[in-house]
Structure 1
Amino acid sequence: MKRAALISLLATSLAGCSTISSTWNSWFGNEKSKPAALEVLSGPESGRIVWSAKGDNINFPLSIATPGDRFVVASSDGSVRALSAADGRELWRGDAGGKLLAGIGSDGRFAAVVNRDNELVVLDAGRVVWKKALPTPVVAAPLVAGERVFALTLDRQVLAFDALDGRKIWELKRPGEPLTLAKAGVLLAYKDTLVVGQGPRLAGVDPLKGSLRWEAGVATPRGTNEVERLADVVGPAVRQGELVCARAFQSSVGCVNAERGSALWNRVVGGANGIGADDQVVVAGDASDRLSAWKLANGDLAWSADQFQLRKLSVPVLSAKQVLVGDFEGQVHLLDRDTGKTRSRLATDGSAVVSIALLGDTALVATKSGGLFAIKAE
């Protein structure tokens, strides 16, 4: 498994060679490879920071869960906190007992993380109730739903545990892919179906039995070798009504109908991060941080925006007809959803934006140095 992970990391490096080359050139003064300068903005503010908090460093992207009326946040040191979405008030705090390898999932009561010993750790209102060693490495945040905890391993095995006592209920093993990507995959719920990323496909799984219900492709891998054909679906994916949309690594962005279990559309575009969406558009960045928006209904291109090239953008989220995206300097940019034009910008703490999670009309921004900033787009 270690060999597979190393091969996966190598594949990531090879597939992202243009980005590496850009970084190398920027170190040696190639002006074309430097991050785009911040725009001069003169319009009114279109968002505001309503509260902030401080925690430990965060080194993984899926560090925030959004159950009910709260944000549940995991830090790299193993601390887990539930914060009121309204005012940032701490509702409970716990400790997973060690540094973390993957992000967090929560249903409001139970919270689940994976530590660096590859143990699934479940807390109940901040108190550790059980731990379970997993068979292969995990980098995806667990999913907690229906008093069950679901884990997706690096080799795309899915395991289901009872949230109360840690009893393993089922496991789903898929035929091994030649290579898998060492990035968080897709694991989310659609009605009574568990939606899982399996290579370049999304799969619908019965959460009670672990049996496969449907599969739908997000990408059609192409290339002369296994590295070039690597097209794992990466998280986070987004759900809008019956549609689940996701990115296939360096291949495409696409949506599937989770009710029918069929592909709706996909568009060829490079990139390695997850996507954002609302009921109108799907938004994603490519390897050079050019943002594109496609119409949710049919995949037609709505706009492209290149004002943030090489600024190491976070996964975007959409709120109040705006696109929120963070960069390597801790800036949060708010774009018009319909045009891609920048409307305003908010500064955080100067460290890279790692994750943005949306709960109602509040977006919580997490930075690498542990800053938490709740933003309302207006």
Structure 2
Amino acid sequence: MIKKIVNVRLLSAIALATTLAACSSTDDEDEAIKIAELTDINEQFEVDVAWEKGIGDGVDDYFSRIKPAYGYNKVFSISREGDAYAIDANSGDQVWHIDLSDVNKERGFFDSREPALLAGGPVTGVNKVFIGSENGQIFALDAETGELAWQGKVKGEVIARPALDSGILVVNTASGVLKAFNANTGEDLWQVDLDVPPLTLRGISAPTAAAGGVLVGTSAGELSVFMLEKGQQGWTVPVGEATGSTELERVIDVDSQPLVFGDKVYAISSRGNLVAIDIRNGRILWKRQYSSYRQLAIKGNTLFLTNLKGHVYAVDRVNGLERWSNLALTNRSVTGPVVIDDYLAVGDFEGYLHFLDQETGEFVARHKVDGSGIYATPTVAEGTIYVQARDGSLQAVKLP
């Protein structure tokens, strides 16, 4: 029964995102739902798969933004059922594995496994790995051994990665609760309750900690900053613009994680705008009409994004002017972009990893990870892309 409920939520989120893309377009209805077919490209290189590892059963058909995390020369990853793994980043060997579905539970020999519903994280820091669940559980594991260091509780589903800075872990939930913990001990530090509209997208914004504050996008289409130490609210800036006549058309969630670069923060709404904001006072520096709930990326003076239709864009981060666009992946459920060397990489629903030239947006390579699809933005660390497919297949991909 639980699986049916969550699957309905997943389908609803996909349908809502597709509807938002269609509503924000002037294209014909058929064009709004047509999935682009891949065509031959002039491949400039072939990637090298350094190692591959199975992470339980992955996330199956459920909505999830689970992605690998890198830290302490290890790659940490999780499955929705409750598997948490630490893998040697160089060799791909398993360092440890823990089943969080068994934590605080007594299971008989013939009892079935009760899923831990892991969904937020992992995040590394203070020699620990932090993971959140749809049940509002926060698990802190020892990064070296996998042992449970502490366990916390928050009201609402944790379906986005927590933020960690200065020994403080901040968790955002689908119920609008923003809560901070002492990352070393698990002690509750502060909590803020945010307003949640009656109709929102399934995802939520992962918070970003920077400059003594924590920035978070809201379901009301705003970007807010709170003081990291005590939780006092600073400025709030509107990002989305509710222009439709129905509740569906007025969904303006800011579900993408705020991206901080120097004294600027960049945020984007599922309907409305991409904005550049002065992090010191909340002043909007520029605003452009792009819509997305995917993660942003940046290199130098260029900001990269994937919109609701799967189009990939490069935008000047100083003035917001568009540098190039690639429309060849329309409606392929394209992930947020990541930067590696001189290239940009995005995944899609068929499990392909696409590489684009950062200067032109042209395809330069393509790699098939797994047929179950890639829905979470890959992770880049130490010149390696770590990408996890829906069925749990985790690959370490290197460029030549």
What is the letter of the counterpart of residue 284 of structure 1?
L
Residues 76-96 of structure 1: per-residue CA shift (max 9 Å, x gap): 121222334344343433332
TM-score (norm 2): 0.81
Q: What does residue 239 of structure 1 align with? A: 260
User: Would you say the 8 A contact 1:215–1:262 is kept in 2?
Assistant: no
| Aligned counterparts of 2:154 and 2:381: Cα–Cα separation in 1 | 30
| Aligned counterparts of 1:141 and 1:88: Cα–Cα separation in 2 | 23
Q: Which moved more, 1:364-373 or 1:229-238?
A: 229-238
Residues 320-375 of structure 1: per-residue CA shift (max 9 Å, x gap): 12110111221111001111100011121222013201223222111111111122
Q: What does residue 296 of structure 2 align with? A: 275
1:50 aligns with 2:47: no
What is the letter of the counterpart of residue 347 of structure 2?
G
CA RMSD for the aligned pairs?
3.0
Q: What does residue 333 of structure 2 align with? A: 312
Q: Which moved more, 1:11-20 or 1:315-324?
A: 11-20
User: Would you say the 8 A contact 1:246–1:274 is kept in 2?
Assistant: no
Change (3 A) 1:266 1:72: farther
SS of the counterpart of 1:269?
Answer: coil
What is the letter of the counterpart of residue 206 of structure 1?
M
Q: Which moved more, 1:332-341 or 1:72-81?
A: 72-81
Alignment of 1:245-284 (within 5 A): 245-284=266-305
| Aligned counterparts of 2:10 and 2:349: Cα–Cα separation in 1 | 22
Change (3 A) 1:257 1:95: farther
Q: What does residue 99 of structure 2 align with? A: 95
| Aligned counterparts of 1:10 and 1:376: Cα–Cα separation in 2 | 33
Q: Greater strand share, 1 or 2?
A: 1
Q: Which moved more, 1:300-309 or 1:123-132?
A: 123-132
Alignment of 1:137-216 (within 5 A): 137-198=157-218, 199-216=220-237
| Aligned counterparts of 1:47 and 1:262: Cα–Cα separation in 2 | 42
Residue of 113, 119, 128 corresponding to 2:137: 119
1:131 aligns with 2:151: yes
What is the letter of the counterpart of residue 354 of structure 1?
Y
User: Would you say the 8 A contact 1:150–1:159 is kept in 2?
Assistant: yes
SS of the counterpart of 2:255?
Answer: strand
Change (3 A) 1:272 1:129: same
User: Would you say the 8 A contact 1:78–1:115 is kept in 2?
Assistant: no
Residue of 321, 324, 330 corresponding to 2:342: 321
Residues 55-81 of structure 1: per-residue CA shift (max 9 Å, x gap): 123332142223454332121121222
SS of the counterpart of 2:333?
Answer: coil
Q: What does residue 26 of structure 1 align with? A: none
| Aligned counterparts of 2:236 and 2:379: Cα–Cα separation in 1 | 27
What is the letter of the counterpart of residue 54 of structure 2?
K
Alignment of 1:12-31 (within 5 A): 12=13, 15-18=16-19
Q: What does residue 363 of structure 1 align with? A: 385
Q: Cα offset for 1:300?
A: 0.3
| Aligned counterparts of 2:317 and 2:229: Cα–Cα separation in 1 | 30
Change (3 A) 1:230 1:33: closer
TM-score (norm 1): 0.86
Change (3 A) 1:57 1:296: farther
User: Would you say the 8 A contact 1:316–1:325 is kept in 2?
Assistant: yes
Residue of 204, 219, 226 corresponding to 2:240: 219
Identity %: 23
User: Would you say the 8 A contact 1:218–1:263 is kept in 2?
Assistant: no
Change (3 A) 1:377 1:203: farther
Change (3 A) 1:232 1:96: same
Give the unaligned 5+ runs of structure 2. 1-5, 24-29, 102-115
Give the unaligned 5+ runs of structure 1. 23-29
Change (3 A) 1:82 1:268: same
